[in-house]
Amino acid sequence: MKSKKIFILLPDGVGLRNFAFTSFVKIGEQMGWNVIFWNQTPFDLTELGYKELKLHGKPRAYTDLLKRAKINVELNYFEKKFKDKVYQTYKFPSSNKGIKSKIKNTIVTQLTKIYKGEKGLQKLRGKLKASERKSAFYKHCKGVLEREKPDFIFCTNQRPVNAIAPLTAAQDLGIPTSTFIFSWDNLPKATMVVEPDFYFVWSEYMKDELLTYYPFIKPDNIFITGSPQFEPHFNLGLRKAREDFFRENNLNPVKEYICFSGDDKTTSPDDPHYLRDVATVIEKLNSNGENIGIIFRRCPVDFSDRYDNVLNKYQNMIVSLVPKWKQVGENWNAVIPTKEDLQLQINTILHTEAVINLGSSMVFDYTLLNKPCLYLNYDVEKQMDSNWSSKKIYKFVHFRSMPNGKEVIWLNSKTEIAPKLNLILTNSRETVNHAKNWFKKINLSPPEKASERIWEEIDKIAKKCT
């Protein structure tokens, strides 16, 4: 019996964690699939024993302008349709340095004005594909597909503009295409750049979101599977004994550690001040008999020196465990995860008592190991950006999925840090139970079976399409 061939389209590095560092490929191969990564990242997947075809080329510059316009038009449309100004907060100002940037921004502004509303969005979706059909990149993709003849294309996320050409080429050749919705917060942000035949989502909640924002998608073409990103937490082979982890990372074995998980500079410009607040409070607690340390895990794409002063001042209390991501270029999206970092993150969670951050999905990672999350929910006195506020973060649409607001410990001021740290160190069961209910709403249970469910649905689709 001839094996079925699948191309896992990897347009950027964010899909590595879900589909290269889990058992995803192994499960597919056990089900009779010939799994080949169509890889546009610099990462060499043959080092992991995988088959790959390097995908060369790039989208047209005009396609990227159309994409930017589409995002603006969608967010404007969402605001009008749902009567909610929050959608405007998802827009980020583009650089206006240099004549090229100014010309591009002018074109995007004009496209946004011309193609407004639902009808405008329909035209923009068509124009994105039409633009790429004119590219050398599209012709290259089509040639590869005609030669290799895969039975199915699975795109690892819906956001990159460079995924349009390969998916469009496949559709033009009658090859079934699909995408995985990468993150729990993506859909309200108008990040749906590709338009494949089928969609894989985390939960019933996300399916409803997808249909709310993109009602032209047929419900039968959406499959609820959960996300593979949580599967490594159930891989006991990735876990290290406490004494080994502490020894490798110069941690004090008699201390209880809290993890401070950093955000990127845009999401949380005042992160260093928050870290200082937490360290100051813990220093006082320790002087009164506690023995608490901080493991600081910075955002993997934040290479700034903005934390240096705090880390130096509290070097006896804070241990910085730098994420083991790989730098393959100068831009933030040229930094890709590694399998080594996955193990580092899992053991950081395993050997800390709780996590403190600003609105991160790390709440779910900690919940899986029955540990609580504390959300920073106040503004510091001397803000780096006067237009920024923590209140703005928690107004984002994805936080409305919280069933009752008791899923995390809210740190509403610096004065609340000490009593609430004491609370979670002595009894956090109720918070964790609420967080588990939130996670069940966000991601299909059991979470460790996501890859299996994705492959089961791919199998069904392939049989229907043959």
pLDDT at residue number 329: 58
Cα–Cα distance measured from residue 374 to residue 370, given in angstroms and rounded to the nearest whole number? 14
pLDDT at 453: 98
Contacts of 453 (CB under 8 A, 6+ apart): 223, 224, 225, 226, 444
Domains and CATH numbers, the chain: 4-59+135-227+447-465 (3.40.50.2000), 61-126 (no CATH), 232-442 (3.40.50.2000)
The pair of three-digit structure tokens given for residue 213, joined into one six-digit string: 């924002």
pLDDT at position 332, please?
46
Q: What is the pLDDT of residues 35-91, one digit of tens each?
A: 999 999 988 999 999 999 999 999 999 999 999 999 999 999 999 999 999 999 999
Within a 13 Å sphere around the CA of 207, how many CA atoms are in the beta-carbon half?
A: 18
For helices 417-426 and 271-287, the axis angle rounded to 10 degrees is 70
Which residues of the chain, if any, have pLDDT below 70? 1-2, 329-334
